[in-house]
Amino acid sequence: MFRVFVTLLVVCFLTVGHAQELPAPKGCGYDHYVHSLNRQYPGFKAAADDVFRQVQLRSPQSDEIYTIPVVVHIVWGEEKDNLPDSLIQQVLDVLNEDYRRLNADADLIRDTFLSVVGDPGIEFELAGVERVQTDTTFELNLFGGSLPDNVKTSLGGGSDAWDTEKYLNIWVCNIEGGSLLGYAYPPAGLENWPEEAAAPSPELDGVVIHSEVFRRTGTYTASGLLGLGEQTIPVRGRTVTHEVGHYLGLRHIWGDGLLSILGLPDCSADDGVEDTPNQGASSQFACDPEQNTCGDNEEGDMPDMFENFMDYSSEDCLNSFTNNQIAIMRGVLENQRNGLINDVATSIVPIDHTNDFHVYPNPTSDQLYVESTLTDLDQYQVRLVDMQGRLVKSTVFGQNGTRQEINVNGLPAGLYGLMIRQKDNQYFQKVMIR
């Protein structure tokens, strides 16, 4: 019975009104559904909050850098949505900056928050690209309560997920309706989750992003809910950062309170994160340093944190996660989503036992070439690891034809492992660098 809630838990969309005349209703699908379900099933919200608290309490086990393999599904009808590899790389770069606090704008964080922000220690590597041309449309039906999950199956006109326990699947498509920029499911299988709140089926797990915001630079013009008004926002790839935050267990910084749907501050709702300020509403795609929706004017009271990736601010202002948010995300990676960081290939085939790949020259000192005659090469990831198993180079095959060039110039001399991975299959060869 909670399926609708689960389905809409972290749907995020823009609803834009005539800001001057009306308090513009801006919010997230989450608000509507959690409160209506709570009326229908008393105690529901408490149970959901409980789950969240549980995740939060799991403490990170180490300072290890976690690497998440990412599969990007480009599902397109019009050529403009068939995004080039360069944009995919841009988004991976944004994720790798934001989740390592290497983003150039990280130092724009206001001094008030300096002590609570940190480096999540999470990296992302492109494991594969799927391109599917389709004539199906993908649409948010807010009132019918359905998300464009059909993008996630070939049956629905989209692209089938790679094993969602091992890969973060990101589907990129044109989402009809003009208000939904992206959505993600939170981790399933948490203790204390009501039994009825069955997780969506595993193959639907992952992140969906509107093709127009899947890039580092640009603008996006959103039409509002019910066609009310339009708003143009800068695009800096941060929709992806935000949705991956949901995928790793984070909630909106303002806590998704009931009144916040109406654009009013709701200070009774909390995001369950200790070190974020109590914030009653989203920052409404602005960056107002004076905004303090739940201010009590007492000493130590912090203003709203529009810099937080889990706020709705202008993407030019988003630049930070807090340490407690980071603890939640790392806790999820160590528990509910640990398949992402504990990759176990089901088969490992030595490359010289197959005719599919040719690796040369070996030994080498500057260039290493990997060649193949396979036709689905953009599903193959090439990784060079050192003898301690640390990733040295990584690329997706096939983006530059059937020959992949790896520059090994400058790497310390020694033995390395060249691995080619496609879904559950792994190919391996030792390479000597002189």
> Which of 157/272 has CB closer to Zn ion?
272
How many angstroms separate the CA atoms of 154 and 422, rounded?
19
Sign of CA dihedral 275, 281, 287, 288: negative
Query: Residue with CB nearest Zn ion?
Result: 12
Q: Which is nearer to Zn ion, 12 or 173 (by Cβ)? A: 12
Smallest gap from Cβ 252 to Zn ion, in A, equals 5
Contact between 261 and Zn ion per CB under 5 A: no
243 is catalytic: yes
Q: How far apart are CA 58 and CA 81, in angstroms?
A: 40
Q: Give the footprint of Zn ion on residues 1-60 (CB under 5 A).
A: 12
CA–CA gap between residue 220 and residue 233 (Å, rounded):
5
In degrees and rounded to multiples of 5, residue 122 shows phi and psi of -120, 130
According to DSSP H, which parts of 346-434 are helical? Answer: none
In angstroms, what is the minimal distance from the CB of 247 to Zn ion? 10
Nearer to Zn ion, 250 or 359 (CB): 250
Helices 323-334 and 44-57 sit at what angle, rounded to 10 degrees?
90
Residue pair 409/422 in contact by the 8 Å Cβ criterion:
no
Please tell me whether residue 294 binds Zn ion under the rule CB under 5 A.
no
- For the chain, the distance separating the N- and C-terminal CA atoms, rounded to the nearest angstrom, is 62
Decide: is 70 part of the binding site for Zn ion (CB under 5 A). Answer: no
Cα distance between residue 20 and residue 146, in whole Å = 31
Q: Which helix (H) or strand (E) covers residue 38, if one does? A: helix 29-40
Q: Reduced to 3 states, what is the DSSP secondary structure of residue 146? A: strand
Q: Give whichever of 261 and 384 is closer to Zn ion, judged by the CB atom.
A: 261
Smallest separation, CB 1 to Zn ion (Å): 24
Any idea what the Cα angle at residue 316 is, between residues 315 and 317, rounded to 5°? 90
Contact assessment for residue 371 and residue 391, using Cβ atoms and an 8 Å cutoff: no
Give the active site residue among 243, 307, 315, 334. Answer: 243
Rounded-to-integer distance, Cα 164 and Cα 116, Å? 32
CB of 12 to Zn ion, least distance (A): 3
CB of 11 to Zn ion, least distance (A): 8
| Closest to Zn ion by CB, 81 or 256 | 256
Residue 110 CB, nearest distance to Zn ion (Å)? 22
Is 44 in contact with 6 (CB distance < 8 Å)? no
Asked if 208 interacts with Zn ion (CB under 5 A), we say: no
The answer to whether the beta carbons of residues 331 and 127 sit under 8 Å apart is no
Closer Cβ to Zn ion, 209 or 406, answer by number: 209
**Of 309 and 427, which has the nearer Cβ to Zn ion?**
309
Minimum distance from CB of 417 to Zn ion (Å)? 39
Task: Count the alpha carbons within 13 Å of 54 in the hemisphere toward its beta carbon.
Answer: 15
| CB contact at 8 A, 211 and 226 | no
Measured from the CB atom, the residue of 185 and 427 that comes closer to Zn ion is: 185
Q: How far is the CB of 283 from Zn ion (least distance, A)?
A: 13
Number of residues forming the site for Zn ion (CB under 5 A): 1
Contact 59, 270 (CB under 8 A): no
Is residue 408 within 8 A of residue 365, CB to CB? The reply is: yes
Strands 11-13 and 122-133: unpaired
Q: Which residues are catalytic?
A: 243
Binding stretches for Zn ion (CB under 5 A): 12
